[in-house]
Structure 1
Amino acid sequence: MKDFPQLGFGTYKLEDRDECVNAVTTALDVGYRSIDTAQMYDNEAFVGEALAASDVDVGDVFVATKLKPENLGYDDALRTARESAERLGVETIDLLYVHWPLNTYDTDETLAALDELVDEGVVANVGLSNFRPDQLEAAIEKLDAPVFAHQVEMHPLLPQDELRALADEYDHHLVAYSPIARNEVAENDTIVEVAAKHDVSPAQVSLAWVMAKGATAIPKAASPDHIRDNFAALELELDDDDIEKIDAIETDHRIVDFDEAPWNQV
C-alpha cells in the first residue's frame, strides 16, 4: 500500500488547464506526493496530464478524487469512478471519496458501489467527505471495506474535535480541506503571534497545527511561492505553548457552508 503523506496538495478551483498543470507539476517538483482532486472540480484530466508529464513516477504519488453528489447511484458510481481513473491516467485510484452525502447518496447503493470498486481493483481505498458523525458511523457499519479517510473542513478556527475523536476511535485518517481557512488565519492575532515567534507565515502555522493534531492537510495553492511556502510547514515544529494558545482560540467558523449541507439538516 502506498504511503499517505500528512501534507498533500489540493486542486480546488484550479479549473484552467495551464494553471492546474503548472501548479500540480510544481507541487510534485517541490516534494508533494499526494494530490487531491474531485469530479466536481472539472480538472481530473489536467491533474492526469501533470502526473504524466512529471519526472515523479505516478506510482510514487497518492492520488485521490471524489464522486459528484449526482453520481452516487450504484451504476453511476461504478461508471464515473472508472471514467475518473481514465482521466487521471491511473489503473487504480488510491482513494475515492463520496464528496457529499447529498442528492443521489443512498447508504445501500452508494456504499455497495464503493465496495464493488475496491473488489474490482478500480479503487484501493474508500473515503467519505463532509459526513455528520451519525452519517459517518452508519457508513462505517454498512461498508465491507474499511473507511480509510474522512475529509472535512478543518483549521484552527474550526478544530473538529468530535470528528477527530471519531477518526481515532475508528482508525481512519481525518483529512483537512481549507486548512488555512482561505487565509483567514492571517487575520487571527494568535496565529499571527505564533507565526512571528517562529518567523514563518500564518499559513505555515495553521498547517503545522493541523498536522500536530494528527490530521492530514491538503492546502490548495496556484502560485509557486505559495506552493513552496505551504510545503515548508513540514519543517515547522510548534511547541506545547504554541498548541495551547491556538487551541484556546474561541471560534467555530466555517468557510464552506450552505443550507443543504449535512450539518444544517439536523
Structure 2
Amino acid sequence: MMIPNFGMGTFRLKGPTLTELITEAVAMGYKHIDTAQAYENEADVGKGLAQTRSEDVFVTTKVWFESFKHQQVLDSLKQSADKLQRDCIDMALIHWPSPNDEVPMEETLDALTEAREQGLIKHFGVSNFTIDLMDRAIAHVGADNIMTNQIEVHPFMQNRKVTDACESNDIKVTAYLPLAKGEVVENDTLRAIAAQHNVTAAQVTLAWEMQKGFITIPSTTKTEHLRSNLKAQKIQLTAQDMADIDGLDRNERIIDPDFAPDWD
C-alpha cells in the first residue's frame, strides 16, 4: 500500500477531542493519519481508529530520538502499535536526526529494517533530514527502502533543495505544517487564486502541494476544516496559479528547535 497523498496530521492534538476528530475524519474518507511518539497522542488516535472501519487507513508514527538505539526502537514501536491498536504500523519515521549523532543513524535504520522484518511496520522513512543526512541514509539502506522524508513545506518555506533531492532519489516528500499555522489564509496572492476557483486559500495551498507531488497532512481542531481540507483534492490549479504560489517562497521556517540539524 502506497502512502495516500492526503492525510490528517495530529501535531498538538490530544484527548477525547482528537479521538472524535479521527473517527470523523475516517468516516469522511481520510485514508492517512499521521502521529508520533513525541505527540503523546497515539492512544487517542488508536481509540478513534478502533471506533471506525479503519482497516484501509494508512497510519504513520515517528520514533523519538530518546529511543534510537536498536532495541529501544523495537520496544518503542511495539508500544506504539499497542497504543494505536494496530497489529502492524504502516510506516515509522525517524522523527529527527539524532542530536550530535549521539546514536548513529545506521543503528536506527538497522532497527527499523528489523522491525519491518518482524512485521511490526510495513515501511519506514525519515523526517527533518537534510540532503547530507539523506545521502547517508541512502548509502546505508538504499533509497528504495526510504519511503518518505517528512519536512516543513508551505508556500512561505518551500525547502526546494531538499524537495529536489528527494525527487531525484524517488523519495516522497511529506509536507508538514502545510498551512503555515494558518498564515496562508491571510495572504493576498492565495486569496486571489482562491476567489478565482471559488474555494479557500487553505484549500488552494493544499492543492498546490498535492499538484507538486507532495503528501500533505494538515491538522485542525474543527470538523468543518477537516471536511474543507479533504475537498482540496478535487481542485485543479492552473500553471499560472502554481507559478504565482511558487513565487511566495521566503524561506520562513516555523519549526526550528535547538536540536535541529544544520539546514540546507
* TM-score, reference length from structure 2: 0.95
Report Cα offsets for 1:117-138 as digits up to 9, x if no partner. 1111111101100011100110
2: CA distance, partners of 1:263 / 1:183: 26
2:149 corresponds to 1:153: no
- 1:107–1:142 CA contact under 8 A, matched in 2: no
Question: Residue 241 of structure 2 corresponds to which residue in structure 1?
Answer: 242
Alignment of 1:24-63 (within 5 A): 24-54=22-52, 56=53, 58-63=54-59
- 2:98–2:105 CA contact under 8 A, matched in 1: no
- Match of 2:154, SS state, is coil
- 1:153–1:256 CA contact under 8 A, matched in 2: yes
Question: Residue 253 of structure 2 corresponds to which residue in structure 1?
Answer: 254
Question: Residue 177 of structure 2 corresponds to which residue in structure 1?
Answer: 178
**What displacement does 1:86 show?**
1.2
Q: State the percentage of identical aligned residues.
A: 37
Report Cα offsets for 1:158-198 as digits up to 9, x if no partner. 11212222222211210001011111111222111111111
Alignment of 1:1-266 (within 5 A): 2-15=1-14, 17-54=15-52, 56=53, 58-103=54-99, 104-143=102-141, 146-263=145-262
**What displacement does 1:47 show?**
0.7
Query: Gapped runs of 5+ residues in structure 1?
Result: none
**What displacement does 1:73 show?**
1.1
**What displacement does 1:141 show?**
1.3
1: CA distance, partners of 2:211 / 2:162: 15
2: CA distance, partners of 1:75 / 1:112: 10
1: CA distance, partners of 2:80 / 2:177: 23
1: CA distance, partners of 2:231 / 2:67: 36
- The alignment of Structure 1 onto Structure 2 pairs a total of residues equal to 261
Letter in 2 for 1:168: E
**What displacement does 1:250 show?**
4.2
2: CA distance, partners of 1:74 / 1:59: 29
Report Cα offsets for 1:41-81 as digits up to 9, x if no partner. 11111111111101x2x320101100011111111111101
2: CA distance, partners of 1:48 / 1:107: 28
Shifted more, 192-201 versus 28-37: the winner is 192-201
**What displacement does 1:35 show?**
0.5
2: CA distance, partners of 1:100 / 1:149: 13
* TM-score, reference length from structure 1: 0.94
Letter in 2 for 1:188: N
2: CA distance, partners of 1:192 / 1:137: 38
2: CA distance, partners of 1:221 / 1:105: 34
2: CA distance, partners of 1:166 / 1:26: 36
